[in-house]
Amino acid sequence: PPELTGLGLQAMIGGSLRHAARRLRAPALAVAGCAAGTSLYLRGADEEFRHVSESELPTTYDPEAFAAVWSAHPRCCLARLREIVARVAPLAAVVLRDSLRGGVAGESEAERDARYALRARELRGCLTDLGPTFIKAGQALSIRPDVLPPPAVYELQKLCDAVPSYPTAAALALIEAELGAPASSLFELDASSEPIAAASLGQVYRCRLREGGAEVALKVQRPDMIRAVSLDLYLLRRYCLFVEWFKVRVLTNLLGAAERTPFDVALLDTFARASYLELDYTHEAANLERFRTELLPRLGSSVYVPRSYPAVTTRKVLATEWIEGEQLARSPPEVINRLIATGVDCFISQLLDVGFFHSDPHPGNLLVDARGRLVLIDFGLCAEIAAFDTRHLTSAIVNLMRGDVEGLVNDAITLRFLPPDVDREALLPPLRRVFEQGRLAAATQASESLGGGGRRRGGGRTVSSPRHRVEHLEHRVRGGDGAKDSALHRHHLVCRCVVA
């Protein structure tokens, strides 16, 4: 009868489920036991982390020194790794699902953009929760529209000046520990003071010095930054080493993928070296003073760099002159247009004259003061450039403007942007097409902006088109006017042409 058949089917299913449950019971108990054991093992990880002395850690990025310290504290490493995985895995799974599906079926362009924006907000929240190292990584990605879609770039830019602050009481305790005196005895600062800005590594207070009354921007590092950042960098480097091993041993040797030079560890080391150095505020103060000494005399009164106060500056506390102004990016259009030439002049001078440049010019670090000057702040991330490279950078800029593709490739090889054995035959034709298209567009735009007329340059010489201006520049750079071949001379020629 049908009812007996149904009962038999139910009994069969029930028996199968009971059999499966019996088979899964042992693995489930093993997993539960492992999880419980791990939780017990990690119970004292936070206390162990706080007892790692900062004196054991180097003042500059040193992977071997990090490994020597943190390999002796596997419990701290495992606890942090669990925290990272728990926060990253859900978001990674959602993004992977979206990628494998190729989006959402029937999704309109507006809905797709909204989904991208949602994922971008989730990514920003994830990086913020994971702390300073990951916030710095997000800031680096915020200027890479070639890597991330526009909604993600826009959202990650908020990490530059919209990071949650930490309690002022902790900042006052750190100031006292660093300077050896209560914060209130050195600054007009107390527990009711609120930071005016918070960044990935610290936060800033506006206050006055007790001695002299000067108004300062006081940057105070977040607690435990040296320990936290060094641990994250150690774990990330271990991950990059595994990725390189997997690419070489599995993808290339086992699966036959194209052989490539691994770059993951080198990329991480470049990021880590700069990020870890930002933890030393005395280094930032030295950078600032170098800019004041070497850059400002070359640029006159159009650019300004605030002074520092060494007496109240340590590795974790930095006092600099307070600048009354607003962000350049939020200034009226006429102010931005007026300062474009100044900004180009400023950064070209850093590259070609000083050989030392500000490497973090995001919108929060470029201000306009009450006198209309372009003000640079936050010098934690700066880099040197050799005199040899400045000469070839000048040549590259000239070749770029001339559309000399072969010369530009030669410069790129000399500057080590391309390997010496690059396939020129494959590279040159598409580059020439790109430059030809750009040249036509630039010529059309220049003709429209000049109304068909020429511009007059120094010495009464008329330069009537972008091509003529470049030829005029090249003539002078190569000494055709009898001018001396100095870095300053080359800089001003290149700068004028770029601004034009």
CB 374 within 8 A of CB 337: no
Q: State the Rg of the chain over Cα.
A: 29
- What is the residue-wise DSSP string for 100-137? HHTS-TT--HHHHHHHHHHHHHHHHHHHHHH-HHHHHH
Residue found by looking up tokens 């601004």 in the block: 499
Q: Is 360 a catalytic residue?
A: yes
Dihedral of alpha carbons 481, 485, 488, 491, sign? positive
According to DSSP, the residues that pair with 205 across neighbouring strands are 218
- Give 176's contacts (C-beta < 8 A, 6+ positions apart): 182, 183
User: Across the beta sheet with 303-304, what order do the strands follow?
Assistant: 303-304, 374-376, 366-369, 325-327
| Tokens found for residue 358 | 């500000």
- Determine the Cα–Cα distance for residues 383 and 356; give it in Å rounded to an integer: 6
Q: What H or E segment, with its residue span, contains residue 320? A: strand 317-321
- Determine the Cα–Cα distance for residues 338 and 134; give it in Å rounded to an integer: 36
- Determine the Cα–Cα distance for residues 68 and 147; give it in Å rounded to an integer: 34
From the list 164, 146, 148, the residue with the least C-alpha distance to 156 is 148
| Tokens found for residue 120 | 């971008």
| Tokens found for residue 302 | 């159009």
- Determine the Cα–Cα distance for residues 93 and 88; give it in Å rounded to an integer: 9
| Tokens found for residue 283 | 């280094």
| Tokens found for residue 248 | 């070489």
- Determine the Cα–Cα distance for residues 340 and 239; give it in Å rounded to an integer: 42
487 alpha carbon, distance to own chain's centre = 29
Give the number of other Cβ atoms within 10 Å of residue 235's Cβ: 19
From the list 431, 387, 390, 430, the residue with the least C-alpha distance to 407 is 431
- Determine the Cα–Cα distance for residues 91 and 274; give it in Å rounded to an integer: 27
Given the residues 264, 280, 345, 360, select the one marked as catalytic. Answer: 360
- Determine the Cα–Cα distance for residues 138 and 159; give it in Å rounded to an integer: 7
Backbone phi and psi for residue 222, each to the nearest 5 degrees, phi listed first: -70, 150
- Determine the Cα–Cα distance for residues 190 and 35; give it in Å rounded to an integer: 45
Angle at 73 between CA 72 and CA 78, to 5 degrees: 135
Helix or strand or coil: residue 326? strand
For the annotated catalytic residues, the residue numbers are 360
